[in-house]
Structure 1
Amino acid sequence: MKLYSILSKSNYLLLFLFYSLVCSSQNPTVSGVIKARSGEPLPGVSVVVKGTTVGVASDFDGNYSISVPEVSTLVFRFIGYKTLEVDVSLKKSINVIMEEDINSLDEIVIVGYGTQKKSDITGTVASLDQERLESVPNVDISQAIQGAIPGISITTLSSGAAPSNDDTSIVIRGKNSILASNGPLVVVDGVPYQGQLRDINPNDVKSLEILKDASSAAIYGSRGANGVILITTKGGVEGKTVIKYDGYSSIQQLSNLPNLMDGEEFYNFKKDRDPDAITVSEQEIYDNKSWVSWPDIALRTGFSQNHNLSVSGGSKNTKFYTAFNLLDVKGIAKNDNYQRISTRVNLDTKINSWLTLGTRSTLTFGDQSGNSANFSDVFWMNPLTKPYNDDGSLNIYPWEEDTFWSNPLEGVYMENTNTSTQIVTNNFLNIEIPSIEGLQFRLNTGYRYRTTDSGTYRGRNTTEGFEKQGSSDVSRQYIKSSTIENILSYNKDLGKHRIGLTAVYSTEENERSTNSLSAEGYPNDILGWYGSSQASLIEPSYEYRKTNLISQMFRANYAFNDKYLFTFTVRRDGFSGFGEGKKWGTFPSVALGWNITNEDFFKSDIINNLKLRGSWGRNGNQAVGAYQSIAKFRVFDNVVGNTTAPGYIPSTLGNPNLSWETSESFNIGLDFGLLKNGITGDINYYNTNTSDLLLNRSISPVHGLFEITQNIGETNNSGIEVSVSSTNIRTDNFTWSTRGNIAFVKNKIVSLYGNLDENGNEIDDLDNNWFIGKPISTNYGFQYDGVWQTDEADLAAVYGTQPGYVKIKDVNGDFVINGDDRVVQGQRDPKVVWGLTNTLNYKNIGLNFFITGVSGNTKSNDLWNTDVYQGVRRNTVNRDWWTPTNPTNTIFANDELASSQGGFQATRYEDASFVRLRDITLSYDLSDEILKKLKLSKLKLYVTGRNLVTITDWTGTDPELGSQRSTPQVKEYVLGLNIGL
């Protein structure tokens, strides 16, 4: 509270000083709004009194205010638009509409704590194309990003109804950290956002930028090492009120199902391997041909609908945007449902010529209640079993003789609730100082409050509920975060010189509290978890954590004659979660740029834009828990006789020197435009060293623990990114444009614990599969080398095996298979990620198709590697088993001992590369003549297909999924409608 009191007093003092400066203004003030022909406001437009160096820049909403002599001319300049001169002639208000100049098209880019012209940017900032946000039906932000921006890798462990679930990870420019999070910082409307991306309605997003290099991300200091995603939501526009409806419905179908054995195939497989293993119930089901396909009864045709209604408009001084959204998804897995309801209010009010207030507020309700089937067991489950009893109720033990197996469908029958409510409100105050042209003060405040309510009751119709006479787990949680940012900026054009200064002082507080209760032994199932007070065993738990972050940042931008560019940034962060002596860190960066095409010596009819960029900087990864630097204890009660004595034992050791991981990065880039910007793009090379990794070092057990978290170790990431956009054909009736990107990523561990062997080489960590000089995520183990053949019987005997059994590669050639024969077999993260979009428009008909792909990664296909080693109790995919008459080298014989050699088993790794038609959209816009008759501004119909075609050598369900025994990937067919009034 003391901190907030100080901030409040300092803000009042600043307001008083600024008001005093305002009152000292002498020249009359001219103000107005600058827009593009489309009606969108233009931020960053240079407004200069002709013949002088007096000038300002328009703010984010296109507003400007400038003191001018009564008789003068204002010059409006904006790269990408034609220069405009307007005579003031005693006018107090001048609104301007600027025309695009296709020969020098450029745009304004959000760079954090402000905006910049793209031609002035020295760092690496990638913008998501507006078409990915508006022309394709996205239910989730990550869905729009995937494959559309170079260097961004998105991994989904499992598919499902809820978009961007907890199993989805976004990695920018490869993994820097081994144990800590590699996720980027997300900033929404200028305020750091700690929530889930799936709570953000994509229809509300105006622009999305990604800060990738150290210079551009350095403004976020201790949290910018893994990149920054900047999301800006829509605002109102001066003019008549506009009402828009965007909606669609879709059908989801299974994309690919593994070729699992049916009842007859499983029966024959089991008979061949162990004729005596067939149980009585299996034989009966086989004889009656009443076997079951577990995937068929666990899956369904999915359906989703999304409806978005927005109203926007405004007057000269007040602009508004409000929207309501409903997303309802019923996934392909039975009882896998997700619903999101959100509403947004964005409001900007200009109180007077120097004061503007605004809010960006949204309320979201999410409902993911209901458990689906356990797909790990669905794919494993013996088909010669009974899912239901004769009366139609769930059969708790489908396999009568093997009660180890619970019913994979039992999750559907559990009582489950999983709901969340979230409010996010970002409010700002913006003060312009007419007496000091270009000086602004902005106060940003952000507040987020999220509550979750989750609970599961397992009744006596489920395995655990039957065995424990009912069991439950319930949890109530709230998350609060608040942010205050004081931003002082100064932008000035002085003839050939253009400067921009930004200073920030901010505080952030995050708090989380969780109450949980587990219970079992209920007298009945009537009340579910509401009857937990009657349970025989009750175990409550409570968790609380709170962190604070205080930051100061300064950034200086300078441009000379639109040719030479310079950016310097430094940020200082203090984080409560770090050790007593390591709470503060400083993160500097510097960047240079050269607009070569603006040089007098550079004359070319082909190259009309060429800019060279270079940057260096340090960023941090603030990826430790709230209290990870201090010693902690856990409950360890001692029972003496009939008395329980409370006690505690250490759970972690404290480390007062614990601090953030630090990434030092270098980036060099080239932006280009060819043939009157018919072809544009950029090329970037980066190299990042991350040191002081957060790793767990083994220690002597004399401390009562076996490890302690320390800042040790180092990794390196390097890569090349290429992005190209082109207008291939442009006529009066037909246009064809292409956008493509590709990224090459190389990742390696440079150092771990510093332990050296007798040759002076650092020792690898075999237990965790971490190797010096190798990528972070590697595959390590015995190498699958095919199957021993009949003509190799003598050699197989040397290894104690026989033809038809698995062959493990003897790496060192000593005729003994042991731990020395384990090798690294590729990496799990892709080396190459790319995307390609083509857009074709003929009159009112549009066709857009988007293709993505990855290569260079290998993964273990657990449908192969686990199933075949588990004897005859689990189902598996059909195999071309080895026999003397079918001497395949792919899969060993159908023998329980054939999967191992010398007591060791080898994992088969497969190429997980793929090429996927991510989405294809065919659309039709009604002509202007028809729209006028209908009194509409827009009416668009479209159909979209997602994940329709995948080209891959992968033999599992999908190479993109982390687990092959999770909810499978889907194909989706969408029918949508956009209407504007």
Structure 2
Amino acid sequence: MKTKFNGILTLFLALIVQISFAQDRTISGTVTDETGPLPGVSILKKGTTLGVETDFNGKYSIKAKTGDVLVFNFVGMKSVEKTVDTSIAINITMVSDNVLDEIVVTALGISRDKKSLGYSTQEVKGEALTTNKSGNFVNALSGKASGIQIRKNNNMGGSTNVVIRGNASLTGSNQALFVIDGVPISNANSNSTSQGNAVGGYYDYGNAASDINPEDIESINILKGAAASALYGSRAANGVIMITTKKGKDSQGIGVTINSGMTFGKIDKSTFANYQTKYGAGYGPYYSGPGSHWNIEDVTGDGNDDQVAVYTEDGSYGAAFDPSLLVYQWDSFDPESPNYRTATPWVNAKNGPITFYESPVTITNSISLDQSTEKGNYRINYTQFDQSGLMPNSSQKKHNFSMSGSLKMNDKFTATAYANYIKTSAKGRNSTGYGDNINSMFRQWWQTNVDLKQQKDSYFATGRNVTWNPKTSKAGSVPIFWDNPYWARYENYQSDSRDRFVGNVSLNYEINDWLNVTGRIATDTYNEIQEERRANGSVASAFGVSRGNVDSGYGRRNISNTETNYDLMFNLDKDLTEKINLKAIVGTNIRRNTFKSIYSSTAGGLSVPKLYSLQNSGGPLPLAIERDERIGVDGIYGSASFGYNDTFFIDATVRRDHSSTLPKDNSSFIYPSFAGSFVFSKLTNFDWLSFGKLRANYAEVGNSAPFDFLYDTYDVNIPPGTSSTSVDNTKKNPNLKPERTKSFEIGLDMKLLKNRLGFDIAYYKTNSVDQIVRVPVSTASGYLNKVLNAGEIENKGIELSLTGTPIKTDNFTWNTNVNWSKNKSKVLSLEDGITNLQLGSFQGGVTINATVGQPYGVIQGTDYTYLDGEKVVDAATGQYVKSTTSDKVIGDTNPDWLMGISNNFKYKNFSLSFLIDIQKGGSIFSLDQYYGLATGLYAETAYTNDLGNPVRNPLVFNQYDTDGAGIPSAGYVATSGGFINSGVNADGSVNTTRIRADRFGAFGYRRGLPNSAFVYDASYVKLREVAITYNFTKELLNNTFLTGGSISFTGSNLWIIHKNLPHADPESGLSAGNLQGYSVGSLPTTRDFGFNVKLQF
């Protein structure tokens, strides 16, 4: 990597030296249309890459010399060319053009006129990604384009799920391909399978695309369908996120831009637990003290019994709070506690779990230098990202250094290069999943009488694990279920770091004015270290390679990943006649991927406390888990596009890939695409129609097998050197063939009323066949699964994008955009004899599945039983009657539809923008509700019942209303607690049986409720972004060293306008991947407020 970096750095130095010699005089002016100044007009020196844009007042300045030709372009306006004479001022008035010449970046980084495309693409400008400084530009795409679903979670630096037009693969990756300046980069996720299955004690390390600096992004073009992305070969089935980076721009000398921003977070309380405040520790009236809610122990040592809160339990079904009642609690047992051997009032904690979280702060600073001349351009940027997290002792830092440049060596040769080095480090990511997760403790297993400030003071005063949940009341007792949360954060922490280099060098040779050839070498490589620690004295839990329960340990994972692409491409653009144009590409791509990882850990705990080293293992080191992958794909491709009279366009592409992960006889596969478009507005003369285009396409793309799916391999067992070996529990398949996705799309693109109103609507249908999957087999075979080609998924949907400018005057402009999409997926088939493929199994008894005839990713579990549409209740117990099997479809993780509504208002130099993000439908299972209701934490468990009494009052029935078995039949005293489940008995009569609610399990999973009771509608309406910006005026900057600048006040996730999931954010999840729709122990969402200052020199 060092050699590659040094070579590219040398090239950049040469570029800068060459570029800096060119000198011109400054030409300035104002660009207007019929309504006034035009901001954002592109001005280029013809035949060069030199260019600028007009500011908010339509003003510009550019360096040029006499004889140069300036080209003025703006979407919806006719292009204007002006030759520079002896004047230093050129003012332009642009007029509307019924034909839009909008240039977009397509596959392989090729720029195309958008009207010629026969497939759907959508562009997002870079400035839309940097308004709010989140550190992960992927999250900022939410709501800004149709057909793309962004699912983020609240973990610091956590993963984001990016799916375009639905899931196309049953068990493979469904993540979109990320491409920078035409070159694919890694978006790998190093999280373990267990982390994705919500097994506790694992961390979300994020996905690699988040390394990309949003300050470097000029624009993003989303290639949605197979026809748009087919030239990228076997990774194109999931769509492409095309990133175009910023280049050097013209300035009077070297242009300098400084950006500095800061954001502050505040918890949205609607996404955290709403605790009941009436009852404290315990599981119900099961103990020996008064009212059966207390332990009786001699805490003070005076030989007398003391009334003690039930410290060994992790629920809140205890005695009602009473400030006059003094009891001994967890802080009475430790000699270093201020309350040692002291009884304290029995009250709800003043400082509940929400006080545990800290206010996250993010600081982003960047500086860039750029220049552009006739000989080329360059841009250098450095960005520092520093974030303190929501959880105590959590932080993330990024250092991002990038360089890009282009040099016109002579009339024939042009060299370009891009280099990006990213140093990322993090500490204190939160553990995810069910066990060993502080957030699960707060949301599921907690005592409302525990004061977090006292827990904090105990840890920092003693440095010990003084927990609220000890095994005994003896001083120094170890925890029974849960650590002191501050001990967990400051002692049992993880850390990780990643060094990454992304770069490419290309050389373009113009053979003649219609044919050129480009050669390019690109690499993306990173090394990552992940370390996990568990301190002596912690709760014993699963850890390390063997996942044995230990109270201490150390684990380390080393990862290296490299992708290298070699490209040679001939590009033809020729007018065959006055009306017929041909664009063609012929090229080859050689891709090589290597991935190595090794994970090792201690076993049997740590010999020496706080010495985190593999050599400090309490027992023999287990064999490390290693993985070494090498994948090669060789591809050749071609495309041809014919245009007739700028009205009719026909495209065709073909690609052939040869993959090393497929068997020899099936390793090569070919897939074509065809597209056509008809700009019908060229043949009409309606004043109201500015532009109109019909388009249609059909495409096929392939997808090769994952690594290590062909041949059975054997593991050498412990101890090394013996002849004992074992085979993997999955039978591999040496006869695999590639997956194939077939896609059809038709669309209509129109601009109306002089481009003041526009829409783009598309209908698509994709079928993914010959899925490469693991399916279960009989254990009598010696295996659990086998690999084969089986199954078909169908996705079909509608996408709609609306753009409008309802108001535009000299001083005020209102622009609005609406993106709406609806995707419907369906599993059409699996292997013969198999109707369900389980994708994941979770705590709580639910599974995520691919079920024939159902959408991909349905939730299965137990459900209510029904009689004529009414839920059936057992008349004897008052509990609901559940289904006898857990294979009922009780939810669908896919949304019904998605919508984003953005508005931008500009008045003179002020602008206000906001984005509303909407999801309708989808399902999510909440393990927090499943357990948290059962333990009596939530306010829903301490309400006033239908008799007007606290629901937790004892259930008391009249003596004459008792049958011989002591089961209540009817009639309750006026003070009775309990509740009646709505529904009917087996005979159809209305249920009247009251059940008690004064003990653990009265609510939640122990109430006999089915899994479906904890599946919620995942709909939401969010005020996702707000920004107020002031752009400094030219008058304000006169007589200063500044050439431009702005100040912005921003907000993100400011308001969840509507949601149905209680106590959590419907977007909360585990990580990226195919397993969605499961919420457990998630962090609360924060409302983020910030400001940003931009200065240009």
TM range (shorter): 0.7 to 0.9
The offset of 1:77, in angstroms, is 9.6
> Which amino acid counterpart does residue 442 of structure 1 have in structure 2?
T
Q: Which residue of 2 aligns with 1:780?
A: 860
Contact 1:923 1:942 in 2 (8 A): yes
| CA–CA separation in structure 2 for the residues paired with 1:448 and 1:919 | 32
Percent sequence identity over matched residues?
23
Q: Which residue of 1 aligns with 2:1088?
A: 972
Q: Which residue of 2 aligns with 1:18?
A: none
Does residue 118 of structure 1 match 2:194? no
Query: Residues 269 and 675 of structure 1: is their aligned pair in 2 closer, same or farther, counting only changes over 3 Å?
Result: farther
Out of 408, 412, 428, the residue aligned to residue 354 of structure 1 is 412
Out of 378, 402, 427, the residue aligned to residue 442 of structure 2 is 378
Does residue 824 of structure 1 match 2:908? no
Q: Which residue of 2 aligns with 1:103?
A: 97
Contact 2:874 2:881 in 1 (8 A): no
Q: Which residue of 2 aligns with 1:633?
A: 714
Query: Residues 904 and 753 of structure 1: is their aligned pair in 2 closer, same or farther, counting only changes over 3 Å?
Result: same
Q: Which residue of 2 aligns with 1:735?
A: 813
| CA–CA separation in structure 2 for the residues paired with 1:516 and 1:559 | 55
Query: Residues 36 and 964 of structure 1: is their aligned pair in 2 closer, same or farther, counting only changes over 3 Å?
Result: farther
Q: Which residue of 2 aligns with 1:837?
A: 902
Out of 525, 545, 549, the residue aligned to residue 449 of structure 1 is 525
Deviations 1:314-348 (A, max 9, x none): 32213110100011111211122111110110011
Out of 482, 507, 519, the residue aligned to residue 406 of structure 1 is 482
Does residue 181 of structure 1 match 2:256? no
The offset of 1:74, in angstroms, is 13
Structure 2 gaps of 5+ residues are 1-26, 32-38, 53-66, 188-207, 296-307, 311-326, 331-342, 431-436, 473-478, 544-548, 840-846, 949-978, 984-994, 1070-1078
Structure 1 gaps of 5+ residues are 1-32, 48-56, 63-70, 90-95, 757-761, 809-816
1:527 aligned counterpart, secondary structure: coil
2:933 aligned counterpart, secondary structure: helix
Q: Which residue of 2 aligns with 1:216?
A: 228
Answer with 260-269 or 718-727: which moved more: 260-269
Q: Which residue of 1 aligns with 2:300?
A: none
2:107 aligned counterpart, secondary structure: coil
Contact 2:357 2:391 in 1 (8 A): yes
> Which amino acid counterpart does residue 553 of structure 2 have in structure 1?
S
Query: Residues 650 and 199 of structure 1: is their aligned pair in 2 closer, same or farther, counting only changes over 3 Å?
Result: closer
Does residue 846 of structure 1 match 2:890? no
Q: Which residue of 2 aligns with 1:342?
A: 400
The offset of 1:837, in angstroms, is 0.7
1:463 aligned counterpart, secondary structure: coil
Q: Which residue of 2 aligns with 1:554?
A: 638
Answer with 288-297 or 883-892: which moved more: 883-892
The offset of 1:184, in angstroms, is 0.8
Q: Which residue of 2 aligns with 1:724?
A: 802
Q: Which residue of 2 aligns with 1:489?
A: 571
Query: Residues 102 and 141 of structure 1: is their aligned pair in 2 closer, same or farther, counting only changes over 3 Å?
Result: farther
Does residue 512 of structure 1 match 2:583? no
In the TM superposition, 1:406-555 aligns within 5 A as 406-407=482-483, 408-409=485-486, 410-414=488-492, 416-433=494-511, 436-464=512-540, 468=550, 470-493=552-575, 494-520=577-603, 521-525=605-609, 527-529=611-613, 531-532=615-616, 537=621, 539-555=623-639
In the TM superposition, 1:225-244 aligns within 5 A as 225-240=237-252, 241-244=254-257
The offset of 1:415, in angstroms, is 5.2
Contact 2:287 2:294 in 1 (8 A): no
| CA–CA separation in structure 1 for the residues paired with 2:260 and 2:72 | 39
The offset of 1:650, in angstroms, is 3.6
In the TM superposition, 1:741-756 aligns within 5 A as 741-755=819-833
> Which amino acid counterpart does residue 244 of structure 1 have in structure 2?
T
Contact 1:396 1:406 in 2 (8 A): no
Deviations 1:36-85 (A, max 9, x none): 98899789x9x9xxxxxxxxx988999xxxxxxxx9x9999998553556
The offset of 1:567, in angstroms, is 0.5
Query: Residues 769 and 650 of structure 1: is their aligned pair in 2 closer, same or farther, counting only changes over 3 Å?
Result: closer
Does residue 197 of structure 1 match 2:209? yes
| CA–CA separation in structure 1 for the residues paired with 2:73 and 2:815 | 28
Q: Which residue of 1 aligns with 2:1073?
A: none
| CA–CA separation in structure 1 for the residues paired with 2:640 and 2:91 | 30
> Which amino acid counterpart does residue 497 of structure 1 have in structure 2?
I
2:129 aligned counterpart, secondary structure: helix
Q: Which residue of 1 aligns with 2:962?
A: none
Contact 2:50 2:249 in 1 (8 A): no
The offset of 1:890, in angstroms, is 8.1
Q: Which residue of 1 aligns with 2:1032?
A: 926
The offset of 1:147, in angstroms, is 0.7
Query: Residues 838 and 832 of structure 1: is their aligned pair in 2 closer, same or farther, counting only changes over 3 Å?
Result: same
Q: Which residue of 1 aligns with 2:328?
A: 284
Does residue 324 of structure 1 match 2:382? yes
Does residue 955 of structure 1 match 2:1056? no
Q: Which residue of 2 aligns with 1:673?
A: 751
1:777 aligned counterpart, secondary structure: strand
Out of 924, 936, 939, the residue aligned to residue 1042 of structure 2 is 936
| CA–CA separation in structure 2 for the residues paired with 1:255 and 1:500 | 53
Query: Residues 969 and 74 of structure 1: is their aligned pair in 2 closer, same or farther, counting only changes over 3 Å?
Result: closer
| CA–CA separation in structure 2 for the residues paired with 1:852 and 1:570 | 38
2:371 aligned counterpart, secondary structure: strand
Out of 246, 266, 273, the residue aligned to residue 253 of structure 1 is 266
Contact 1:581 1:656 in 2 (8 A): no
The offset of 1:243, in angstroms, is 0.7
| CA–CA separation in structure 1 for the residues paired with 2:293 and 2:283 | 11
Query: Residues 392 and 371 of structure 1: is their aligned pair in 2 closer, same or farther, counting only changes over 3 Å?
Result: farther
The offset of 1:652, in angstroms, is 3.3
Query: What TM-score comes out, normalization by structure 2 length?
Result: 0.75
Query: Residues 88 and 247 of structure 1: is their aligned pair in 2 closer, same or farther, counting only changes over 3 Å?
Result: closer
| CA–CA separation in structure 2 for the residues paired with 1:281 and 1:468 | 28
| CA–CA separation in structure 2 for the residues paired with 1:77 and 1:971 | 40
Count of equivalent residues: 890
